[in-house]
Structure 1
């Protein structure tokens, strides 16, 4: 369900926006360790409308407040699903940036367009790097300007692993030391790995899924066929049959959720 109870507040009396945060140093890989993986269910037939509005109004306006828009995507397997990732330097910075944005002039000006397009916006994971340095690094390349068109080649694949225990109770280290090299050898480079953020949601007006035992990792492929080929290559190996598959069966509580994500025209992650 949509959860924006505060969005009916009048703009009058809302504090002015904070001073924009300083620019992000291109070589600072320690920034933005907290991310939100946001999956929105859009009203039937309205996903492209939502993406056009989002990429026109809600990219630079959030980044001016210290957030970083890591990527925006169409879910290839669900025509109603719009997925996006935003990042924050810290949980403290998250609370301030979200308050400044949702009570600020840009969202207040355009919420009347955005809210009717949303069927459900409660599928949100609040995540932190699974180990130091496992998060997304600084962006490479330049974001295309507003109004850019075209469909970038390639896919980002996000895998949400549901676990019996929290990832820091053994699985994160196993993934880092054993699984990631095996995936890379099969053609699935590991771009970033995240576990649950343990601090409470400090902007409760936006719902997030917390207290779940999971690990989320991201890879890049040229196509769904390339992803399937890499999976077959891995599963044909003796190490998969004799070691990796039994270990995964022991760690996993249920089958992972695999998101096949096609970058939108302005997505930096592609």
Structure 2
């Protein structure tokens, strides 16, 4: 399976106590129906540090097919039938970054697992460390070399099974019905660990703080934002068996 050239990182803030309701609805109604229109639901997650946050990744073959797929899905019967129930769980759904793999092969969805079938409720394995780094200027050759040569090895030596890097997609948003962040370039790092304990061990080691954070600091416009994410039962992006 090839990586998606265009990816949305979607971070939703929900009303208190509504995350399980949205996950159940999403996994029952919004996975296969989106993919039937040509999108890829890469993975969906609970934030360990915020019970009212739902985060997911959606991929597209290119910008033109993004516009066509979103128009078909959001203009279709499934969204019409379930949008009120979905929207009722949400405070905000506009915290979205439109991204591209930082270099060919840098994406995370080239080897996602086969998704569990509808009705699955068993917890999925893994912890995804997802960090958004706001940049002073769009990512260039030097920063991407830092990702490949310094940051990825630190994560891999610390136990990350898979590491991915994304940068802001510069194309204008061609489906304005769904807002995305514009005007603030970002670097997004994803690191998949076997479980929360493995990530916690990496965090305690201090390797990131000592080797990676100082090297990244000159590039950052403001502090990075990190999420510790647990895959939902039907997330295709999960730790390996």
Would you call these one fold, judging by a TM-score over 0.5? Answer: yes
* Cross-structure match for 1:134: 106
Show CA shifts across 1:109-131 (max 9, x none): 11121121111101111000111
Shift, 1:190, TM fit: 4.3
For the 8 Å contact 1:160–1:216, the answer to whether it is kept is yes
Structure 2: gaps (5+ residues): none
The 3-state SS of whatever aligns with 1:265 is coil
Shift, 1:244, TM fit: 4.4
Give the alignment partner of residue 91 of structure 2, picking from 91, 99, 119: 119
TM-score w.r.t. the length of structure 2 is 0.91
- Asked whether 1:265 is paired with 2:237, we answer no
- For these two proteins, the number of residue pairs brought into alignment is 238
For the 8 Å contact 2:41–2:59, the answer to whether it is kept is yes
- Alpha-carbon RMSD: 1.9
Give the alignment partner of residue 128 of structure 2, picking from 137, 141, 156: 156
State which drifts further: 171-180 or 62-71: 171-180
Partners of 2:184 and 2:172 in 1: how far apart?
13
Provide closer, same or farther for how the CA distance between residues 144 and 82 of structure 1 changes in structure 2, counting only shifts above 3 A. same
* Cross-structure match for 2:57: 85
For the 8 Å contact 1:73–1:82, the answer to whether it is kept is yes
For the 8 Å contact 2:45–2:55, the answer to whether it is kept is yes
Structure 1: gaps (5+ residues): 1-25
TM-score w.r.t. the length of structure 1 is 0.82
Which one has a bigger Cα radius of gyration? Answer: 1
For the 8 Å contact 2:127–2:228, the answer to whether it is kept is yes
* Cross-structure match for 1:252: 220
Partners of 1:152 and 1:253 in 2: how far apart?
35
The 3-state SS of whatever aligns with 2:85 is helix
For the 8 Å contact 2:155–2:191, the answer to whether it is kept is no
* Cross-structure match for 1:9: none
The 3-state SS of whatever aligns with 2:71 is helix
